[in-house]
Chains A and B, each alone.
Chain A
Amino acid sequence: MTEQTSSIEEGLREIVELDRLIHEPARMIIMAILYVADTDFLFLLRETGLTKGNLSSHLTKLEQAEYIVIEKTFVGKMTRTVCRLTDAGQHAFRSYRERLRRAVDSLPE
C-alpha cells in the first residue's frame, strides 16, 4: 500500500467519523457563529438565511444534543432569546473542525 493511498484512507475515515449533527450545513453555520459569540435569534436568522421555522428546528436539535442552551432574557420590556454554546458544544465543534481539516489535508492535490 502506497503512502498516498494510506493517507486517503485516513482522510476517508475522518470524514466517516465527522459529527453528523454538526455536519449539516445550516447547523455548521450556527455552531461556527456560536463558537465565537453568544447571539440572539434575529442575528442567527440573518446570518443563516433560514426561515424562522427552519432555524427553530435546527436550534432544537442542537439543544437536544446539549450542544447549545437557549435562554430568554428581558431587555426593558422586550424579550431576547440568546443562544449559547455549552462546554460540550465547544468541544464537539473543535473536534469537528480539526477532523474536517485533517480530512481535507489528506486528499491529494
Chain B
Amino acid sequence: MGNQIDQIVQTTRRYWFDDGFVEISWGALLGVGASLVAAQELVPHSSLWLPITLVAFPLLIFAVSIAIRAFVIALKEQVTFPRTGYVSLHNNAGRSILLMLVVSVTIGIMIAILTQLLNHEAIIAGLALAAAFTSLGFRFGVQRFYALGILAMLLGITVSLPLNVSESLGIVVLLGGTGVGMLVSGLLVLRRYLNQHPHSPEISHD
C-alpha cells in the first residue's frame, strides 16, 4: 500500500507533463538561448560586451521563462483542464519564481562566460542538459526525458569532437537541436493526448 501511495503521488506530479505543453515551451526557451548565442556572434564585440551580456542574458531568459510559464498555464486552462481535470501542484509560488531566477541567471552567465573562455563548452553544456533531463525524468517518472538527455549529450559531443565546429556554433547547434527535440517530443505527446481526450466530458460538480 505504501508503494501504491508513492505511485499515486508520482502519477499526480507527472500529470503536468501529460499534454506536452511544458516541453514545447522549454523547447522554445532553448531556441531563445540559441538565438542569443547566435546574436552574440553577429554583433561586433567591445570591452563592454561581456558585462552587458552578463546582465542582459539572465534578465532576458528570466523574462521569457515567466512569460512561458504564464502561457503554459493559459494553454492548460483552455485545453487540458476541461478535458482531464485541473491540478495545481503544491509548489510554493515564491520558491518557484526564485528557482526560475537562479536557473535563468546560471544559464545566462554560463552562455556569456563559457562562449568566451572554454574549449569544448558544448560538451559541458550538453552534459549539464543531460543531467537536468535525467533528474527530471527520475523525479517525475517521465521516461522520454531520458531520451532528450541522451540527445543533448550526443549533440554536445558530436559538435565538439567529430565535427569540431566553432565553439559558439557548437552551442547554437546544441541548444537549437535540443530545443527542436523538445518541440517534436512535446508535439507528439500533445497529439497523443488530444487523440485520447478529444472532448471535454460533461461533468456536474454538484
Interface, chain A (partner B; CB < 8 A): 28-29, 32-33, 35-47, 52, 72, 75, 78-82, 97, 100-101, 104
Contacts and interface: CB of A to CB of B under 8 A. Distances in A.
Contacts of B13: 36-37
Contacts of A52: 203-204
B11 interface: yes
A32 B5 contact: yes
Given A79-B205, A100-B1, A100-B2, A42 B85 contact: yes
Given A38-B88, A100-B5, 19 more contacts: A32-B5, A32-B12, A36-B9, A36-B90, A37-B12, A37-B88, A37-B89, A39-B88, A40-B205, A41-B85, A43-B84, A43-B86, A43-B87, A44-B85, A46-B84, A47-B11, A47-B12, A75-B77, A75-B81
A8 to B, nearest CB: 18
Contacts of B11: 47
A81 B205 contact: yes
Nearest to A48: B8
Interface in B120-173: none
